[in-house]
């Protein structure tokens, strides 16, 4: 995938990510003011409230805006749709003053009613946005003060209240409040926003097109048209890039190391490497009998040679991680060492958990059940496919039989949401502040993003206490203890924090790597 990691709303909630591939060949575009971007999988929706994957967020970040955003380098929260805000001394009331004259791309003015409507849809039990609801649990009310002023009232303090109130996804009330189902509304595929770009067209399986928004209040971007080309095969996409049919794509490690180092290529493209908050992992569904025992999950991690896989499949591009926080954040506990590749220790833990080959058929069994499970992966992920093959072979040496199921991205995500899996290979795009409630609190097992059904009393207590702790040092200490708990239980086998490996055509100038990555809105078209 294109690892933009949503420019404006990246700190809002965790989103599915996976490095896939992407689209159908098309004629070479000659208009210099068009940016052609490789998109490796098709988003399910462009509704910023109900979307859960980074594909939709990367597009929505240029269509929709929030009350506030983060500075791309300092990460400081700065105004966007709000010109300013006020916070009460007890940190229970957050009042935002909207900029006047902001227009939706259809010309209708943005008002406080749009923010209130959006909040009410998030809180609506019928709205499919469990991943978002958790950040507004303690908001009692959003009150309209006047046409351009709204106030969020909390029942108790929350250390991320400013960025989640200010970062609330906003949709136009006049479009969506027409009595039709919000989750399946026609404008989920025809978004209307306030950002510098507006939606033009979506050709299923081919492309999604944005154009400069003539109603935008700010400076018009130099790039007047953005075409996201859907190409499911990364090698096809790379050939399109070299032919000039794409300007911007993420590379697989093998493409970065072996296929893009010629002088000719480097004369035409920037090669950019940087880290964003993310990690990929193998998730063990603890609802399944195989994975309900912590010792089994620990054993499986010991059976996975993460260092060798990193070197072989990713050419060493990445770092092994041990927990859920961003590797370069203060919340990440650097004192924890990852469980080493140790088949003997893995076999010992399996024996302790009762998994033995009692009938000498080469397969471990327990209580009459063989250790056989299915590993689900996205069909277009080259890394997942090769990872699965390695795991299948290594597990079989110990007596574990693993089958592999590949699914098209939309079907894969649906199965995850329905908890219809045994083990999966996936990734998360992280926020910059680190609240683990969405992924790990036990209340999120059935409807939230705690897909592997992790549950621990102390972990729940830490998550809840940290949300009301405003002292950074004390909260960091809590989160580092939480990291220890996650590491101990191994609900995931944490794999890698991988760098974004991006190439951009030198047709564009002012291409900068910020702390938050790239932003093509600031690029200039070379004369």
Per-domain residue ranges of the chain: 15-65+180-276+500-525, 71-170, 278-497
Contact 47, 147 (CB under 8 A): no
CATH, domain 71-170, list 3.40.630.10, 3.40.50.620, 3.90.1200.10, 3.90.76.10: 3.90.76.10
What is residue 15's predicted lDDT score, i.e. its pLDDT? Answer: 53
In which residue ranges of the chain is pLDDT below 50?
1-14, 17-29
Distance, CA of 274 to CA of 135 (rounded, Å): 28
Q: Report, in this order, helix, strand and coil percent for the chain, each rounded to 5.
A: 30, 25, 45
- Under CATH, domain 278-497 is a member of which superfamily? Dipeptide-binding Protein; Domain 3 (3.10.105.10)
Tokens 């702790």, located at residue: 469
* Dmax (CA) of the chain: 76
What Rg value do the Cα atoms of the chain yield, rounded?
Answer: 23
Q: Tell me if residue 341 falls in helix, strand or coil.
A: coil
Please tell me the class of the 15-65+180-276+500-525 domain. alpha beta
Tell me the two tokens of residue 431: 């926020």
Task: Note the pLDDT tens digit of each residue in 246-297.
Answer: 999 999 999 999 999 999 999 999 999 999 899 999 999 999 999 999 999 9
Residue 219: DSSP 8-state: P
Kindly report the pTM of this predicted structure. Answer: 0.86
Q: Which of 431, 453, 427 is closest to 16 using CA atoms?
A: 427
Q: Collect all residues with Cβ–Cβ distance below 8 Å to 216 and sequence separation of at least 6.
A: 103, 194, 195, 196
Per-residue pLDDT at 30:
62
Return d(Cα 9, Cα 493) in angstroms, integer. Answer: 27
Given a contact cutoff of 8 angstroms between Cβ atoms, the answer to whether 436 and 482 are in contact is: yes
Q: What is the pLDDT of residue 502?
A: 98
Please determine whether the domains at 15-65+180-276+500-525 and 278-497 fall in the same fold group of CATH: no
Total residues belonging to the chain: 527
- The CA-CA-CA angle for residues 175, 115, 111, to 5°, reads 75
């Amino acid at each position: 995938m294109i690892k933009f990691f949503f420019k404006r709303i990246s700190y809002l909630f965790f989103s599915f990510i996976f490095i896939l591939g992407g689209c159908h060949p098309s004629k070479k575009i000659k208009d210099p003011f068009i940016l052609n971007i490789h998109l490796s999988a098709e988003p399910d929706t462009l509704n910023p409230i109900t979307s859960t994957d980074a594909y939709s967020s990367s597009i929505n970040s240029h269509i929709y805006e929030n009350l506030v955003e983060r500075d791309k380098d300092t990460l400081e929260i700065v105004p966007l749709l709000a010109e300013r805000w006020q916070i009460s001394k007890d940190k229970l009331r957050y009042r935002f003053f909207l900029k006047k004259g902001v227009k939706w791309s259809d010309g209708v003015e943005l008002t406080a009613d749009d923010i209130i409507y959006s909040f009410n849809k998030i809180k609506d039990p019928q709205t499919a946005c469990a991943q978002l609801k958790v950040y507004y649990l303690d908001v009692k009310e959003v009150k309209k003060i006047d046409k351009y002023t709204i106030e969020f009232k909390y029942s108790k303090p929350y250390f991320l209240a400013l960025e989640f109130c200010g970062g609330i996804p906003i949709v136009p009330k006049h479009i969506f409040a027409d009595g039709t189902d919000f989750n399946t509304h026609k404008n989920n595929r025809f978004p209307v926003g306030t950002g510098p770009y507006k939606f033009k067209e979506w050709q299923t399986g081919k492309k999604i097109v944005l154009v400069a928004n003539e109603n935008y209040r700010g400076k018009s971007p130099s790039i007047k048209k953005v075409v996201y080309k859907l190409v499911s095969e990364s090698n096809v996409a790379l050939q399109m890039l070299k032919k000039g049919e794409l300007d911007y794509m993420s590379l697989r490690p093998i493409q970065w190391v072996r296929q893009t180092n010629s002088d000719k290529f480097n004369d035409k493209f920037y090669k950019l490497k940087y880290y964003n908050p993310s990690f990929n992992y193998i998730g063990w569904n603890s609802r399944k009998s195989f994975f309900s025992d912590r010792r089994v999950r620990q054993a499986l991690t010991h059976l996975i040679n993460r260092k060798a896989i990193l070197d072989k499949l990713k050419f060493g591009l990445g770092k092994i991680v041990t927990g859920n926080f961003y590797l370069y954040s203060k919340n990440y506990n650097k004192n924890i060492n990852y469980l080493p590749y140790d088949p003997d220790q893995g076999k010992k833990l399996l024996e302790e958990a009762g998994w033995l080959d009692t009938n000498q058929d080469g397969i471990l069994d327990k209580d009459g059940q063989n250790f056989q499970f299915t590993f689900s992966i996205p069909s277009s992920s080259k890394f997942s496919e090769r990872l699965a093959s390695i795991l299948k072979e290594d597990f079989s040496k110990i007596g574990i039989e693993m089958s592999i199921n590949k699914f098209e991205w939309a079907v894969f995500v649906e199965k995850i949401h329905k908890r219809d899996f045994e083990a999966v290979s996936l990734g998360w795009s992280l926020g910059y502040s680190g609240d683990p409630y969405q992924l790990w609190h036990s209340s999120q097992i059935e409807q939230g993003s705690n897909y592997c059904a992790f549950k621990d009393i102390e972990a729940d207590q830490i998550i809840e206490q940290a949300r009301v702790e405003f002292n950074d040092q004390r909260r960091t200490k809590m989160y580092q203890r939480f990291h220890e708990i996650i590491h101990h239980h191994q609900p995931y086998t944490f794999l890698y924090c991988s760098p974004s490996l991006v190439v951009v055509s030198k047709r564009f100038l002012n291409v900068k790597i910020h702390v938050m990555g790239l932003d093509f809105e600031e690029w200039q078209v070379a004369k």
